[in-house]
Amino acid sequence: MHVGFVGLGLIGGSIARAVRAYGTSPPWTMSAWSPSGQGPEHAVADGTIDHASGTPEGALADADLVVLAGPPTACLAALDYLAGRWHAWLAPSAVITDVASTKAALLERADAAGLRYVGGHPMAGLEASGYSAGRADLFVDRPWVIVPGRIAEPADIERVKALVETCRARVLQLDAAAHDRAVAGISHLPLLLAAALVEAVAGPIPDMPHDDWPVASALAASGWRDMTRLARGDPAMGAGIAVTNAAALAERLRDLQAMLDAWRSELERSGGPDEAAISARLRAARARLEDPS
């Protein structure tokens, strides 16, 4: 099977590394293009892929499976190109998938263009970015959501499943709306919460920090580091996530706001906070994490 990558950063590069490390049957060949060209060039040099193309059209040529490996908004633009100026380079039987962490907007765009699309979202990642940060084992035993488009046939779905299973991930087929609502809660809301926490404590504008930020920063330890880790990620990726999953994310923010308001009411209770009530809420939260059912 020949795979053409449009984009080859952390996730695309990790897929390519996994295919090269674990792919034995069917035989796999891979080509790639990226805007900078750096990832594909490095991947050829280290023997991961077979060809680095200077154009996106070259990466698409003869591909059985096209992997759009960029932020959600970049994947949306690529779908438009695949329906337009890149279409002549797309084999009639080629299947398009992606690695974007939102699905409904992409599914709608692909279906409107009549593309043979099976959306994908590997549920794995790292804070680092770029091809050099990729790992062949990144997806091992991790869920990998697939969302078939309107014209996708069973054989098309099986082609994407073959890629997922070669990467040693677990296939999970979902409806696009169900996927987007779920990841809005467990992935996208934590990202916005981490950024908002930094804004609230350090100050929203870099050159105008809160007066007590220097002292707080000097005292910060693992709790602050863990809670703000996601705010250290790629801003372009985060922005693409937010704008392509805005409705579900806004709904989750409303839920969070209601909980924050309840916490504030408890802390501002007449006569002082109820320590037993706070302890009960903390115990309930811990129990929910330990038993998600």
Which string of DSSP letters, residue by residue, matches 278-292?
A: HHHHHHHHHHHHH--
Whole-number percent of the chain with pLDDT over 70: 100
CB 229 within 8 A of CB 127: yes
Q: How far apart are CA 209 and CA 104, in angstroms?
A: 38
Beta strand 118-122 with 143-148: parallel, antiparallel or unpaired? antiparallel
Burial status of residue 265 (CB atoms within 10 A of its CB: 0-12, 13-18, 19 or more): exposed
pLDDT > 90? residue 129: no
pLDDT > 90? residue 169: yes
Give mean pLDDT, residues 164-168.
Answer: 97
pLDDT-derived band of residue 204, with 50, 70 and 90 as boundaries?
confident
Q: How far apart are CA 115 and CA 94, in angstroms?
A: 9
Q: What is the pLDDT of residue 30?
A: 98
Mean pLDDT of the chain: 95
Residue 5 β-bridge partners: 32, 67
- pTM beyond cutoff 0.85: yes
Q: What is the pLDDT of residue 233?
A: 85
Closest among 43, 179, 28 to 98, alpha carbons compared:
179
- The 10s digit of each residue's pLDDT in 259-281 is 999 999 999 999 999 999 999 99
Domain residue spans of the chain: 2-174, 179-290
Q: Do domains 2-174 and 179-290 have the same CATH topology?
A: no
CB 15 within 8 A of CB 69: yes
pLDDT-derived band of residue 209, with 50, 70 and 90 as boundaries?
confident
pLDDT > 90? residue 234: no
The position carrying tokens 């996106």 is: 56
Instruction: Fold for 2-174, please state it.
Output: Rossmann fold (3.40.50)
Give mean pLDDT, residues 226-245.
Answer: 92
The position carrying tokens 């490095």 is: 42
pLDDT > 90? residue 126: no
* Cβ count near 111 (within 10 Å): 15
Q: How far apart are CA 188 and CA 182, in angstroms?
A: 9
CATH of region 179-290: 1.10.3660.10
